[in-house]
Amino acid sequence: MYSVVFSSRQQDSFSHNPLFGLLDSFENNTSEEEKSKSEFLIKFDSDDQNIPSNEKLNSYSFDIQKFVWDRHGGRGSLHETQNILYNHVRKDCKFVQLIADDFLFTRQGFVSEILEHSDTYKITGSPGMTDFNCPPGTHGYCPAFSTKVIDALGGITGPHCNADGVACCLAEKLRENYDYEIMFSPGNGTNYYIRTDTITSRYVPSDIYASMTYPPSSPELKGFYNDYWSRASESVARSMYTDQLGGVLELRRLVERGKNDA
């Protein structure tokens, strides 16, 4: 199962709301089998004037779940929205695509290519990618995380509101500390989305919730942002190696045997 999770802002003040372009592009670039294995979970703000009707969303041939609650910190609260929506994905979900409504899917077959990596510790992207670049030609980066990674992290986005930063910071530490490349390109390098640069969310720097999204990172100050990614990469590596050993009980058996041998 492939789950797509995002927030969409539907205001009269916007000259163009790109949501239906995103949904149409998914409709047009997926097979019936891929649609049956896909779901969209979309959060709308309670003050939106143009929240789509259930009838409109149900007109698509893939499952769409609509959620509505207060805006809170706007763009700064995206990480909370993603974690909440993750609680509602199907139990057989293997990958969660964290996207925005100003993207378009651009080619067929990408869902199947992503699901080929089910039950692995992987994130879509360009191998070796850092926080300072995006997959070529995309004009943006929206990673899909395997649920193995999300569960190892204990949530989707940690202290960072943007999933692209999470993916890049985590990947960098896994390369550095464990020589493991977590990023892969579905279709061996062929991009499957593009950003249209239509902004329908607003970052509100004066909002206390938004300002606290980025904690102090200086070693002299409170906050553990710099250290977080090392610990996060350790959690993923530990889960991955434990799976390879056969699970926690097998790991415990090996530890106990080592103690007895000593």
> So what's the pLDDT on residue 41?
97
Burial class from Cβ neighbours inside 10 Å (0-12, 13-18, 19+) for residue 7 reads: buried
Instruction: Give the architecture-level CATH label for domain 2-261.
Output: Alpha-Beta Complex (3.90)
**Could you tell me which residues are beta bridge partners of residue 7?**
43
H or E element: which one contains 33? helix 32-36
Helix (H/G/I), strand (E/B), else coil: 248: helix
Q: Which amino acid is at 27?
A: E
Per the confidence metrics, is the pTM higher than 0.75?
yes
pLDDT band at 18 (very low <50, low <70, confident <90, very high): confident
pLDDT band at residue 212, thresholds of 50, 70 and 90?
A: low
Q: How confident is the model at residue 14 (pLDDT cuts 50, 70, 90)?
A: low
Q: 190-194, 217-221, 256-260: lowest mean pLDDT where?
A: 217-221
Higher pLDDT, 262 or 133: 133
Contact call for residues 94 and 119 (beta carbons, < 8 A): yes
Query: What is the C-alpha to C-alpha distance for residues 20 and 108, in angstroms, rounded to an integer?
Result: 18
How many Å apart are CA 155 and CA 117, to the nearest integer?
Answer: 20
Report whether pLDDT(182) > 80.
yes
- 163 near 142, Cβ under 8 Å? yes
What string of DSSP letters covers 172-188? HHHHHHH----EE-TTS
Overall average pLDDT of the 94-113 stretch = 95
